[in-house]
Amino acid sequence: MSKQTIKVLHMLGKRPVGGVGTFLKNVHSHLNTEKIQFDYIVGATEPDGEFDQYVKKLGGSIYVLPELGIGNAISYIKELKMFFEKYGSTYDIIHIHTPNIATFGLFFAKRNGINIRIIHSHSARYSDTRLKSFRNFILALPIKKLANKYIACSEDSAEFLFKKQNCIGNVSIIRNAVRLEDYKFSNDSRIQIRERLKIDDYFVIGHVGSFLPVKNHDFIIDIFYEAYKLDNRLLLLLVGTGELESKIRDKVNNLDLEKNVLFLGRRQDVNRLMHAIDLFILPSVFEGLPLVGIEAQVSGLPCIFADTITRELQILKQVSFLSVRSRQDWVKAILEHKSNRVSASEREEGYYNMNFSEFDIKSQTLKLEKLYKNPN
């Protein structure tokens, strides 16, 4: 490795499985690894995972600590301290993606000579409950004094975290971005997947996200049920896994929707599944700038997003933002989209329109590389 290679340590509270993980994998795969090396430190209950394997294939190292919790806070801090005492001096930059652990990482990074210390805001709220939000707010209070560079995925995410820290003027916006060609619509792919899933006769509504409270799966089932009662040629695809999955499966069974709601689990072919979908919905309680919303638009999909999500997400005209306080507005919008399906040629336009946006991973990786090389 060249002596001029910049070594960056990314730090996350948990092994990433959603948007942040996808963003990091996208950036890492487009990185000039001759000039910049990415390594990672994550909290996890398992010693290895899919993200770890991806990192190692790209030549990066990954260090696994226990997840931080109330019961192991002291031991976690001790292990973190030992890690930075052993490896801290080998890194030029620390880039932290989880505010509630940032104070610990930034403190030990500064103590062990890491001069560039970045905190990255990926969300517009601390958590999905008041108690956790208050806890994370307190934990994040020292980051202004410990970090010296600030990144956010959107203006809303910057305003949320860094205005409270009085450092909003020094924030760089690095968009959550994708490899556009991976999501370019293919009608042949659409036909193949819909035949394989036996859903060719349906208007297919899709959602991609972990089964967590923030993703609002209860609301998704409620609006789908109301729409289904008016039109039984609707079908819902749910992609992802998580702690609430069994609860949502029970709800689907209780409503006799088993034949019209498909649970597809965690998938590596989300880009192709997008082709099979007719309408994408994301009624999240809060988000930063959700990567999956970009992926859906690259595929030319009409989208309905919760009005809690930043309008910066909208690139295509067939996108609307609705309040999750009104189920009937969502039901009405779903049925209207069914009556006015977009054509294959309109779907293809999504990719070409996105080429003129700032959500291409190549442009955002270059922007991040420049920041690493010239952080001041």
Give pLDDT tens digits for 61-96.
Answer: 999 998 887 788 889 999 999 999 999 999 999 999
Asked whether residue 236 falls in the same domain as residue 154, the answer is: no
Which range of 10-14, 202-206, 346-350 scores highest in mean pLDDT? It is 202-206
Kindly give, in sequence order, each residue whose CB lies less than 8 Å from that of residue 360, ignoring residues fewer than 6 positions away: 177, 178, 180, 354
Asked whether residue 364 falls in the same domain as residue 343, the answer is: no
Asked whether residue 144 falls in the same domain as residue 188, the answer is: no
Plot region of 91 (φ>0 → left; ψ -120 to 50 → alpha; else → beta): beta
**Residue 64, in any domain of the structure:** yes
Over 70: is that where the pLDDT of 164 sits?
no
**DSSP string of 92-160?**
SEEEE--HHHHHHHHHHHHHTT--EEEEEE--SSS-SSHHHHHHHHHHHTTHHHH--EEEESSHHHHHH
Asked whether residue 15 falls in the same domain as residue 88, the answer is: yes
Domain of 349, in residue numbers: 180-354
Amino acid at 113: G
Going across the sheet that includes 62-65, the strands are 62-65, 36-43, 6-12, 93-96, 116-121, 149-152, 171-173
**With pLDDT > 70 as the criterion, what percentage of the chain qualifies?**
97
**Residue 198, in any domain of the structure:** yes
Q: What is the pLDDT of residue 166?
A: 61
Averaged pLDDT of the chain:
91
Question: What number of CA atoms fall less than 13 Å from residue 32's CA on the CB side?
Answer: 17
Give me the mean pLDDT over the 168-178 stretch.
85
Asked whether residue 216 falls in the same domain as residue 138, the answer is: no
Asked whether residue 200 falls in the same domain as residue 144, the answer is: no
Give me the mean pLDDT over the 229-248 stretch.
96
- Backbone Cα Rg of the chain: 21
Asked whether residue 306 falls in the same domain as residue 292, the answer is: yes
Plot region of 28 (φ>0 → left; ψ -120 to 50 → alpha; else → beta): alpha
Over 90: is that where the pLDDT of 40 sits?
yes
Mean pLDDT lowest among 131-140, 234-243, 279-288: 131-140
**Residue 302, in any domain of the structure:** yes
Confidence class for position 285, pLDDT limits 50, 70, 90: very high
E strand map for the chain: 6-12, 36-43, 62-65, 93-96, 116-121, 149-152, 171-173, 203-208, 234-239, 261-265, 279-282, 303-306, 319-322
Asked whether residue 127 falls in the same domain as residue 223, the answer is: no
Q: What is the pLDDT of residue 326?
A: 93
Q: What is the pLDDT of residues 180-223, one digit of tens each?
A: 999 999 999 999 999 999 999 999 999 999 999 999 999 999 99
Q: What is the pLDDT of residue 1?
A: 44
Confidence class for position 275, pLDDT limits 50, 70, 90: very high
Asked whether residue 207 falls in the same domain as residue 78, the answer is: no
Report whether 219 contacts 252 (CB < 8 A): no
Asked whether residue 79 falls in the same domain as residue 51, the answer is: yes
CATH number for the domain harbouring residue 206: 3.40.50.2000
Q: What is the pLDDT of residue 260?
A: 97
Asked whether residue 143 falls in the same domain as residue 257, the answer is: no
Kindly give, in sequence order, each residue whose CB lies less than 8 Å from that of residue 120, ignoring residues fewer than 6 positions away: 95, 96, 97, 150, 151, 152, 153, 174
**Residue 1, in any domain of the structure:** no
**Residue 74, in any domain of the structure:** yes
For the chain, the domain total comes to 2
Q: What is the pLDDT of residues 111-138, one digit of tens each?
A: 999 999 999 998 877 777 787 777 778 8
What secondary structure letter does DSSP report for 261? Answer: E
